[in-house]
Structure 1
Amino acid sequence: MISMEARLARLALKGDQRAFAEIVGLYQDKLYHMAYRMLNNRQEAEDAVQDTFLRVYKNLDRYDENMKFSTWIYRIATNLCIDRLRKRKPSYSLDAESNDHEGLDGYSMIPSDNRTPESETLLSEVQQTIHKAIDTLPAKYKTVMILRYLQELSLQEIGDVLDMPVTTVKTRVHRGREFLRKRLDREL
């Protein structure tokens, strides 16, 4: 049985703009959150998502319906983010980074009844520490950690997205967790 996304991809390939708009609607936020966590820069994340949809649109004819559409689109987005990380210069603008911290996690912005300003501050500080620790991971661990714990993909899906064996994914998740544990033990 063909998935809804595969049907939309077929329709979009035939020129149905509404079908492509539906694909964008389904994946835009998910891809943005992943890209933002990988790149830690709002503008770059938005650009990466836009580039992803351009690449998807241009390559719809190459989509294999035997593969999950989500795996295909995540692979494109992840590769574009990795390319951006590789191209980055070692120095960065402090101004660009300082404006970007209020949106570390959209879900943390949603108030709940039992949160106080003090608990919000503490939670925010812990989240910032965790995000900074994730940012210090080597790219090969950072990518799998983001896909596993922030995008909640299975080990098999990560293997499909990154085109690597599940055993390699497991190893990188384990080493990434160890790296984070050591970093956070020093920080917290």
Structure 2
Amino acid sequence: MKPLETRLARLARRGDQRAFAEIVDLYKDKLYHLAYRMTGNRQEAEDVVQEAFLRVYKNLDRYDENQKFSTWIYRITTNLCIDRLRKRKAIYSLDAESSDHEGLDGYAMLPSDDRTPESELILSETQRLIHEAIAALPAKYKSVMILRYLQDLSLQEISDVMDMPVTTVKTRVHRGREFLRKKLEHKL
């Protein structure tokens, strides 16, 4: 029996609007979090998700049912984010002061527990430093690091999403970690 997403994609391909709405419900939050972590901007993340669903809808006939649906939809979203980051690079530096840009703190969306104001301040400062370090990663490392550590995908799944060999993914994860370690060792 085919996975739920594959069955929904098949129904949506035949024009079933409810099936496509279910696909949107299943993936809207996951894609938003992925896009937000890659772009660092709420509005851009929303735009990316909207564009991703438009592309999914227009290209349902190209979806290969032998492939995981999640891999296909993550690839579309990741590629849209990378395209935006490339275009943005020409406009301003990723190392720019983050206080100028609203919504760059993706960690504000983490659920809260009973923390003291002091621990909250230390935690938010640490999260800000980590977020800045991730934002400063070159796009080729940033995408694999986000997929690996924030989306919790396996190396093979990242390989499928990024359409690159697992060995390349391993290398980029390793180099991304090294980049983050060097960036953070002086700040934390």
Q: TM-score w.r.t. structure 1 length?
A: 0.93
Quote the Cα distance in structure 1 between the aligned partners of 2:25 and 2:184: 36
Over the matched positions of the two proteins, sequence identity in percent amounts to 71
Give the match for residue 26 of structure 2: 26
Q: Does 1:139 align with 2:139?
A: yes
**Partner residue of 1:59?**
59
Q: How many angstroms does 1:102 deviate by?
A: 5.3
Question: Runs of 5+ in structure 1 lacking a partner?
Answer: none
- In structure 1, the residue matched to 2:113 is 112
For residue 164 of structure 1, what is the aligned residue in structure 2? 164
* Cα separation, 2, equivalents of 1:73 and 1:33: 13
1:90 partnered with 2:98: no
* Runs of 4+ displaced beyond 4 Å: 92-97
Moved more, 81-90 or 96-105: 96-105
Task: Give the match's secondary structure for 2:186.
Answer: helix
Counterpart CA distance in 1 for 2:35 and 2:126 is 21
Shift of 1:70: 0.2
Code of the aligned partner of 2:56: V
Letter in 1 for 2:92: S
Distance 2:47 2:175 in 1: 30
Please state if 1:46 is matched with 2:46.
yes
Aligned to 1:129: 129
- Cα deviation code 1:40-69 (max 9, x no counterpart): 111111000000000000000100010000
- Secondary structure (helix, strand or coil) at the match of 2:149 reads helix
CA contact (8 A) 1:41 1:97 kept: no
Aligned length: 185
Partner Cα separation in structure 2 for residue 112 and residue 96 of structure 1: 25
CA distance in 2 between counterparts of 1:168 and 1:129 reads: 27
User: Alpha carbons of 1:125 and 1:170: their partners in 2 closer, same or farther (altered >3 Å)?
Assistant: same
Task: Give the TM-score normalised by the residue count of structure 2.
Answer: 0.93
